[in-house]
Chain A
Amino acid sequence: MRKVTTKKEIRITTPLTDKVIKTLKTGDKVLISGIVYTARDAAHKRLVSAIKDREKLPFNLKGQIIYFTGPTPAPPDKAIGSAGPTTSSRMDAFSPILIKKGLKGMIGKGPRGKEVVDAIKKYKAVYFAAVGGAAALLSKGIKKSEVIAYEDLGTEAIRMLEIEDFPVIVVNDMYGNDLYTDGLRKYSKEEL
């Protein structure tokens, strides 16, 4: 589902379909609602080795979004602690394998490697950035959090999050555009 709001923000809900992904363009401000899953370094390693060993995954990747985050512990009165994005490039070796298996979106920060960008184009996926360092603000968009796998990993466990109007920006769209290179082109005053 895709809806343009008055503030030129696009509201989407998970799971993502090709139809929605086709409408998302680099630089779009997007508010995501629905279910997303958290995973970072250690969880990615386990997910990918489970795929290689043909084991059942803790959740069905089809149409889903993975948020690269390791939240702080939830205080007693909150669904989750602070939960901002971690550096995505550390997941570059794993993401193409997950995208091939049906993953449609990723939320993180920082540029992705060529293999990820190619997989995003080939399998029609999208890479969003949340603002690094805005972890307290971002936690406000998370309504529920439940550990669903790899509990022994602590903050790195896989959590199922219920999010509402979670603010992100499209970095890599399925057309091969990249917000980071666009931004540099527009604002660089470096003498070449």
Chain B
Amino acid sequence: MKEIHFNDIADRIAQMCIDAACNLDDDILSALDRAIEIEKSLLGLEVLKQLKENAKIAKDEALPVCQDTGMSLFFVELGEDVRIMGGLLNDAINEGVRQGYKKGYLRKSIVNDPLKRRNTQDNTPAIIHTELVAGNNLKINFKIVGAGCENMSKIKMLKPTDGTKSIKSFVIDTVKEGGINACPPLIIGIGLGGNFEMCAILAKKSLMRPIGQPNKKMEIASLEEDILKDINKLGIGPAGFGGKVTALAVHIETYPCHIASLPVAVNLNCHASRKKVMVF
């Protein structure tokens, strides 16, 4: 049995919030470099260069990459042989968010109630999905979820006989309709299968995967590639000013589903996919 203390979790979560907000991962920076190589639109190129410069300023000066430091999302894998000492895991995570958002001068964007809308002033509560796994590790995947791109995301329950053509056109339509607002170049997370809520979780989980790491199933990896090509034919381009690079990547995660269902969720992410992982 591994014992992990409440305060250790809270301290490291606080640091992880600041790190995610200010430091883009290398996979994103490399994807922006590749985009600069292929973009033909002059305005588009300028946008991509601004985004690279922005990432550098953010890192050097410990400033958030984007002012929308989002809702704090956690995918937790809790080993069966782990015991949290000194309090509850969810409380430790929320305490970490509280401390990190204050210490890092991050924006507090959470309201207490969807209708009353009073800011909670500390960016809590976080959204926490926990899965019990074998072993004695505690793995915490963190993602900053901004609203600009999240608001443009969609779910559709397709017919089981619809197949890939309908999936593709739903994704393309979602990008056409809201892509500019979602701050392109985009990273597109797609959840296929499961049920209504499961496909949304799959879409979000697919966004935790680094760019350049395709789905392990060959046919899904090639669907990812196909959809990316189609999206980059749209011409939306960086910041929507027109250009070749509308998306940096398409990620798909799948799950078995009911004979009568084909749920699809499309979760748009801006270029600033702010995600971090830590293991205790």
Query: B-contacting residues of A (Cβ < 8 Å)?
Result: 27, 29, 69-75, 78, 81-84, 86-87, 89, 109-111, 129, 131-140, 154-155, 167, 169, 179-180, 182-191
Choice from B40, B107, B235, B237 contacting A72 with Cβ under 8 Å: B107
| Chain A residue contacts of B40, Cβ below 8 A | 187
| Chain B residue contacts of A111, Cβ below 8 A | 180-181, 240
Choice from A137, A140, A183, A191 contacting B240 with Cβ under 8 Å: A183
| Chain B residue contacts of A137, Cβ below 8 A | 50, 53-54, 57
Q: How far is the CA of A131 from the CA of B65 in the complex (A)?
A: 12
| Chain B residue contacts of A139, Cβ below 8 A | 63
| B67 x A84 contact (CB < 8 A) | yes
| A86 x B235 contact (CB < 8 A) | no
| B67 x A132 contact (CB < 8 A) | no
Check: B248 CB closer than 8 A to any chain A CB. no
| A135 x B66 contact (CB < 8 A) | yes
Check: B243 CB closer than 8 A to any chain A CB. yes
Decide: A82 near B50, CB < 8 A? Known: A87-B181, A180-B180.
no
Check: B277 CB closer than 8 A to any chain A CB. no
Q: Which A-chain residue is minimally distant from B62 (CB atoms)?
A: A75
Decide: A187 near B242, CB < 8 A? Known: A70-B67, A134-B50.
yes
| A27 x B243 contact (CB < 8 A) | no
Decide: A133 near B65, CB < 8 A? Known: A87-B148, A154-B108.
yes
Closest 8 CB pairs of A and B: A183-B242, A187-B235, A188-B235, A132-B183, A110-B181, A137-B54, A136-B58, A136-B63
Q: How far is the CA of A27 from the CA of B64 in the complex (A)?
A: 28
Q: Which A-chain residue is minimally distant from B47 (CB atoms)?
A: A131
Decide: A186 near B235, CB < 8 A? Known: A72-B67, A72-B107, A154-B119.
yes
| B64 x A190 contact (CB < 8 A) | no
| Chain B residue contacts of A183, Cβ below 8 A | 41, 43, 235-237, 240-243
Q: Which residues 163-181 of B have a CB within 8 angstroms of A? A: 180-181
| B243 x A187 contact (CB < 8 A) | yes
| Chain A residue contacts of B264, Cβ below 8 A | none
B interface, over-half SS: loop
Within the complex, what minimum Cβ distance (angstroms) separates B14 from chain A? 16
Q: How far is the CA of A87 from the CA of B67 in the complex (A)?
A: 12
Within the complex, what minimum Cβ distance (angstroms) separates A189 from chain B? 4
The 17 listed contacts between A and B (C-beta, < 8 Å) are: A72-B105, A73-B107, A74-B105, A75-B105, A109-B180, A132-B270, A133-B54, A133-B65, A135-B67, A136-B58, A136-B65, A180-B241, A182-B242, A183-B43, A184-B236, A186-B235, A187-B235
Q: Which B-chain residue is minimally distant from A84 (CB atoms)?
A: B67
- A70-B68, A183-B243, A187-B243 are known contacts; what are 19 more A-B pairs with Cβ within 8 Å? A27-B43, A70-B107, A72-B105, A81-B67, A84-B66, A84-B68, A86-B67, A86-B68, A131-B54, A135-B65, A136-B54, A136-B57, A136-B65, A167-B50, A182-B242, A185-B242, A187-B40, A188-B233, A190-B233
| A155 x B54 contact (CB < 8 A) | no
| B105 x A131 contact (CB < 8 A) | no
Map CB proximity to A onto B185-217 as digits: 1 under 8 Å, 0 otherwise: 000000000000000000000000000000000
Choice from A27, A78, A82, A184 contacting B65 with Cβ under 8 Å: A82
| B41 x A187 contact (CB < 8 A) | yes
| Chain B residue contacts of A136, Cβ below 8 A | 54, 57-58, 61, 63-65
Residue of A78, A109, A182 most packed against chain B (CB within 10 A): A109
Check: B272 CB closer than 8 A to any chain A CB. yes
| A184 x B239 contact (CB < 8 A) | no
| B109 x A155 contact (CB < 8 A) | yes
| B180 x A134 contact (CB < 8 A) | no
Q: Which B-chain residue is minimally distant from A186 (CB atoms)?
A: B242
Decide: A189 near B65, CB < 8 A? Known: A72-B106, A137-B50, A137-B53.
no
Q: How far is the CA of A190 from the CA of B237 in the complex (A)?
A: 13
| A135 x B234 contact (CB < 8 A) | no
Map CB proximity to A onto B25-68 as digits: 1 under 8 Å, 0 otherwise: 00000000000000011010011001101100110011111111
| A189 x B233 contact (CB < 8 A) | yes
Choice from B107, B151, B239 contacting A87 with Cβ under 8 Å: B151
Decide: A131 near B240, CB < 8 A? Known: A136-B64, A186-B235.
no
Q: How far is the CA of A154 from the CA of B106 in the complex (A)?
A: 13
| Chain B residue contacts of A87, Cβ below 8 A | 148, 151, 181
Within the complex, what minimum Cβ distance (angstroms) separates B32 from chain A? 11
